Amino acid sequence: MAIKVFADGANLEGMLDMYENGNVQGFTTNPSLMKKGGVTDYRAFAKEVLAHITDVSVSFEVFADDVETMEVEAREIAAWAENVYVKIPCVTTKGESTAELVRKLSADGIKVNVTTIFTPKQVDEMVEAVDAETPRRRLSSRSLPAASPTPASIPFRL
């Protein structure tokens, strides 16, 4: 079984160390980690990361909590570099599925990293939504503690 390791964080120095040492096959971050890491300019941070890390995947998450704004943000994020995956939560904080958005972005060739998947039904829904022609990295799932901020509660935006 092949295992790939993806680092989750928002510390450029740490990311570069792991990248240069070949310890990971890609990176991912999210609004909570960026806030905790002191990132206040999302675009500038992302562009700095992408100036150094060009040949492994890097996932950047949308901040919006409504599907329409998620799409706008996702398209901007995807344009930052060829190695970018756009992290989309499986559902909004109101429980609205993002499967149709994932389907639309994927059909347009945007690489997606679907996150906050909690049930087997959600896994099936998202696997079905990803276009067969879109490069696949992984379908990530994580459990968030009840006190974790949601993307909508993070005070800075794209």
**Measured distance CA(13)–CA(77) in Å, rounded:** 22
111 is an active site residue: no
Which among 90, 76, 83, 77 has a CA at the least distance from the CA of 130? 90
CA atoms within 13 A on the CB side of 111: 16
**Measured distance CA(78)–CA(120) in Å, rounded:** 27
- Which of 47, 87, 94, 121 does the annotation list as catalytic? 87
What residues contact 96, with CB distance under 8 A and at least 6 apart? Answer: 67
Which among 90, 110, 99 has a CA at the least distance from the CA of 150? 90
Q: Which residues are catalytic?
A: 87
